[in-house]
C-alpha cells in the first residue's frame, strides 16, 4: 500500500502562536518557528519535515484561527 | 492531483478573528459555518449574535446576522423564525449572556419549543469584561470577583443549563460537547449538524452546549487551558446527549 503523504500550508499572518496545533500532531512535526515573528508579533506555527506528514488534518481541526490548510498527495504528485 | 483535506470554509467571511490566542470561539465559529455549508443552508441561515466576546460574530459568519441586546438572542431569534419559518435561525451565546442575564429568555424559548438552534459556549467565566465570576464558574475557581475562589455558601453552585433545559418538553435536542481534542472537535461538529437538521425537520428547540476555554482570564496558556477544562469542567459538566430528537413525540 502506498504511503499517504500530506502537505500543510500555514497562513502565517493569521497565526497567534497558541501552540494548540503542536500538541495534536501524531508524527510530531508541527513546531513553532522560533527564528521569526509574524506581523501580529507571534512565532508562527510551521512544519520543517513535510515528508513525514500523513495528512490527518488534526492540526487544522484544532486551530482556532483557520491558519492551516491540509492536502493529501497521491503517489504520482 | 492533490486532494484537499482541510481548508477554510466558505461559511466564514475572509476576516481574521479578533479572539485571544487559543480561544476556542474560533473553532466553534468554524464548526457552525461548516455545518451550515454542509447542510446547504448557508444562504437561508440567519444568526443572532450575543453580547460578550462573540459580540462581533456578525463580522465572521457568511450569512445574514442580527445583533441582539444582552441575553435576548433567543427572543430575537424567536421573532425572526416566526416571521421567516423557512429560514434556519440560530443564536450564538456565551455563558455570561445565556446563563446569567438571558436565563429567562433561553428558558422560555426552550419551553415554547421555538424551532431555533442555540450554540451555547460555556467557558465558566465572563471573558469580555475581564474575568468576573459567572453563574457557570466552578466552586473554588478564581475570578476577579471571587479572588479566593467561588464560595458555595456565598454564590451557590454553578448552573447546569443543558440538564435544566432538558427537563422541559419543548426542546427536541440538547447535547453537551467540547473541543479539547481533534476527536472532540469532530464530535462537536456532528452535534451542531444534528441540531440544525433537527431544526430543519421542525421538531422543536435545539441547543448544543460547547465547553470552551478562556486562557486569558483563566491565567493559563492555551494548551494548559484545554487540560484544565478536561480535568475540572468535564467532571462537573458531563458531556453527552440530554435530549434526543427520537424521544420527541
**Residue B29 · residue A66 · CB < 8 Å:** no
Which pLDDT does position A51 carry in this prediction? 93
Contact A70 B5 (CB under 8 A): yes
A55 interface with B at CB cutoff 8 Å: yes
Place of cell 420527541: B248
**Residue B242 · residue B194 · CB < 8 Å:** no
B190 interface with A at CB cutoff 8 Å: no
Question: Chain A interface, mutation test: which of B17, B24, B177, B182, most A Cβ atoms within 10 Å?
Answer: B182
Nearest CA in chain A to B29: A64
Which pLDDT does position B99 carry in this prediction? 96
Place of cell 438572542: B73
What is the mean predicted confidence (pLDDT) over A64-71? 96
Contact A77 B23 (CB under 8 A): no
Per CB-CB distance under 8 Å, the chain B contacts of A73 are 2-3
Evaluate if residue A31 carries a pLDDT over 60.
yes
- H/E stretch holding B53: none
The residues with which B174 forms a beta bridge, in sequence order, are B207, B243
Helix (H, G, I), strand (E, B) or coil at B122: strand
What is the mean predicted confidence (pLDDT) over B171-175? 97
Which pLDDT does position B1 carry in this prediction? 65
User: Hey, what's the cell of B42?
Assistant: 448557508
Q: pLDDT confidence of B21, banded at 50, 70, 90? A: very high
Q: Pick A69's closest partner by Cβ from B3, B7, B21.
A: B7
Rg (CA), chain A: 12
**Mean pLDDT, chain A, as a whole number?**
92
Evaluate if residue A1 carries a pLDDT over 80.
no
User: Hey, what's the cell of B194?
Assistant: 444534528
B25-244: CATH, from 3.40.1650.10, 3.40.1280.10, 3.20.20.80, 3.40.50.970: 3.40.50.970
Per CB-CB distance under 8 Å, the chain B contacts of A65 are 16-17, 19, 26
- pLDDT tens digits, one per residue of B131-153: 999 999 999 999 999 999 999 99
- pLDDT tens digits, one per residue of B53-99: 999 999 999 999 999 999 999 999 999 999 999 999 999 999 999 99
What is the mean predicted confidence (pLDDT) over B196-205? 96
Q: Pick B1's closest partner by Cβ from A18, A66, A74.
A: A74
Considering chain B, what percentage of its residues have pLDDT values greater than 70? 98
What residue segments make up the domains of chain A, in order of their start? 5-73
Which pLDDT does position A2 carry in this prediction? 63
What ipTM does the predicted assembly reach? Answer: 0.93
- pLDDT tens digits, one per residue of B101-115: 999 999 999 999 999
Evaluate if residue A76 carries a pLDDT over 70.
no
Q: Pick A64's closest partner by Cβ from B5, B26, B223.
A: B26
All residues at 6 or more sequence positions from B221 whose CB lies less than 8 Å from its CB, including other chains:
A19, B22, B215
Contact B182 A71 (CB under 8 A): no
What is the mean predicted confidence (pLDDT) over A33-60? 95
What residue segments make up the domains of chain B, in order of their start? 25-244
Report the CATH number of the A5-73 domain: 3.30.70.20
Amino acid at each position: 500500500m502506498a504511503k499517504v503523504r500530506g502537505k500543510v500550508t500555514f497562513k502565517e499572518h493569521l497565526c497567534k502562536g497558541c501552540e494548540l496545533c503542536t500538541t495534536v500532531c501524531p508524527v510530531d512535526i508541527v513546531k513553532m518557528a522560533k527564528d521569526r515573528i509574524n506581523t501580529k508579533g507571534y512565532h508562527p506555527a510551521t512544519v520543517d519535515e513535510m515528508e513525514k506528514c500523513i495528512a490527518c488534518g488534526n492540526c487544522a481541526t484544532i486551530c482556532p484561527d483557520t491558519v492551516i490548510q491540509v492536502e493529501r498527495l497521491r503517489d504520482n504528485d | 492531483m492533490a486532494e484537499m483535506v482541510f481548508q477554510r470554509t466558505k461559511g466564514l467571511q475572509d476576516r481574521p478573528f479578533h479572539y485571544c490566542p487559543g480561544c476556542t470561539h474560533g473553532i466553534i465559529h468554524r464548526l457552525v459555518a461548516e455545518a451550515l455549508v454542509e447542510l446547504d443552508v448557508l444562504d437561508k441561515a440567519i444568526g443572532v449574535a450575543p453580547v460578550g466576546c462573540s459580540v462581533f460574530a456578525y463580522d465572521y459568519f457568511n450569512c445574514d446576522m442580527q445583533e441582539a441586546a444582552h441575553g435576548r438572542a433567543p427572543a430575537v431569534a424567536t421573532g425572526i423564525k416566526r416571521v421567516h419559518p423557512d429560514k434556519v435561525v440560530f443564536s450564538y451565546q456565551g455563558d455570561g449572556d445565556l446563563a446569567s442575564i438571558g436565563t429567562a429568555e433561553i428558558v422560555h424559548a426552550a419551553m415554547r419549543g421555538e424551532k431555533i438552534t442555540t450554540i451555547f459556549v460555556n467557558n465558566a467565566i465572563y471573558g469580555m469584561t475581564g474575568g468576573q465570576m459567572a453563574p457557570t464558574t466552578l466552586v473554588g475557581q478564581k475570578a476577579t470577583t471571587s479572588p479566593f475562589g467561588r464560595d458555595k455558601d456565598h454564590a451557590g453552585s454553578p448552573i447546569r443549563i443543558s440538564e435544566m433545559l432538558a427537563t422541559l418538553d419543548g426542546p427536541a435536542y440538547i447535547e453537551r460537547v467540547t473541543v479539547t481534542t481533534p476527536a472532540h472537535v469532530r464530535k462537536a461538529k456532528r452535534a451542531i449538524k444534528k441540531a440544525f437538521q433537527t431544526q430543519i425537520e421542525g421538531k422543536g428547540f435545539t441547543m448544543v452546549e460547547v465547553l470552551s476555554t478562556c486562557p486569558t482570564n483563566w491565567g493559563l496558556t492555551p494548551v494548559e487551558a484545554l487540560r484544565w477544562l478536561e480535568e475540572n469542567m468535564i467532571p462537573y459538566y458531563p458531556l453527552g446527549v440530554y435530549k434526543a430528537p427520537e424521544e420527541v413525540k
